[in-house]
């Protein structure tokens, strides 16, 4: 689990950096979106959060991962391509 958690942390830091420094490159935006999807799969696979866990029971260092859907929505909003309307509707679901 330690190695997996370390991998999740490293991916999260990379995506966070790119989100803060994106220059509206559709390819880069989609790559970061895919990385966030992989992080969410790892979080689910490793049961980092439980449905019966209260917010105050979540370890402080894991709270940032609750922001992943927000980051996914932000990336979709930034994505300017032929699927703009579809992307915005999907972004609303992540918010």
Token digits for 40?
């969410």
Residue in the structure block whose two tokens are 């029971």: 57
pLDDT at residue number 80: 77
pLDDT at residue number 3: 67
Q: Are 39 and 13 in contact (CB under 8 A)?
A: no
Enumerate residue ranges in the chain where pLDDT < 70: 1-4, 18, 22-23
Token digits for 48?
């980092």
SS3 at position 48:
coil
Q: Measuring CA to CA, which residue among 50, 37, 39, 48 is closest to residue 1? A: 48
Distance CA(90)–CA(95), nearest Å, equals 9
pLDDT at residue number 17: 74
pLDDT at residue number 22: 66
pLDDT at residue number 49: 87
pLDDT at residue number 2: 57
pLDDT at residue number 48: 86
Distance CA(48)–CA(41), nearest Å, equals 11
């Amino acid at each position: 689990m330690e190695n997996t958690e370390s991998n999740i942390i490293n991916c999260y830091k990379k995506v966070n950096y790119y989100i803060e420094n994106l220059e509206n490159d559709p390819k880069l935006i989609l790559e970061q979106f895919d990385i966030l999807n992989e992080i969410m799969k790892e979080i689910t696979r490793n049961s980092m959060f439980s449905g019966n866990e209260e917010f105050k029971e979540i370890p402080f260092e894991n709270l940032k991962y609750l922001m992943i859907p927000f980051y996914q929505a932000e990336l979709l909003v930034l994505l300017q391509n032929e699927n703009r309307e579809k992307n915005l509707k999907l972004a609303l679901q992540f918010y």
